[in-house]
Amino acid sequence: MESDRSWYIITALVENKPGVLFRVTNLFRARNFNIESITVGSTEQQDLSRMTITTNSDERTLDQLVKQLRKLIDVVEVKVLDTERTVYRELALIKMKAVDPTTRSEIINYASIFRANILDIGKETITVEITGTPDKIDAFKNLVQHYGIAQLARTGVLALPRGSGT
């Protein structure tokens, strides 16, 4: 039986003030709902920040969350983005064990194929920066996992509508 749960990207323009992130995340917590990733950063308007939240949800729960987000006083606008008409990316830094030249060479080749950047090569590790969709990052991670991932950091998704949509 197929699940009616899907992956969604919610974007919210919020006032750039202390406590807004807490109020938004507390809304999710109060409804016992998980945030897969959340990124917050400045926008083209100095007094506003953009939150990009990814979550797995059914449509009914998603609609409830969006309605509740819109009621928060510091939230200016909330949209659920259509992933087919959205540019979205994530950044990951992956430090892997690479004690011998063959392993280093293989990791560098994989990084090249995935258009990733080598940021650091140490005596026993190599650090790669990869940007792309979450699926691309997962595919790279799964490919190099057998070398031994020493550390991993991911930013979460950033997203904007394609074209002239605002």
Structure confidence at residue 166 (pLDDT): 60
Mean pLDDT of 111-137: 96
pLDDT of residue 97: 96
Quick check: 126 pLDDT over 60?
Answer: yes
Q: Please state the domain extents for the chain.
A: 6-81, 88-161
Strand-pairing partners, residue 40, are: 51
Say how far apart CA 55 and CA 9 lie, in whole Å.
Answer: 7
Token pair in block for residue 66: 């969006």
Average pLDDT, whole number, for the chain?
Answer: 92
By the 8 A CB rule, do 49 and 40 touch?
Answer: yes
CA torsion through residues 80, 89, 161, 38, sign: positive
- What CATH number belongs to 88-161? 3.30.70.1150
**Residue 19: what residue type?**
G
CATH number of 6-81: 3.30.70.260
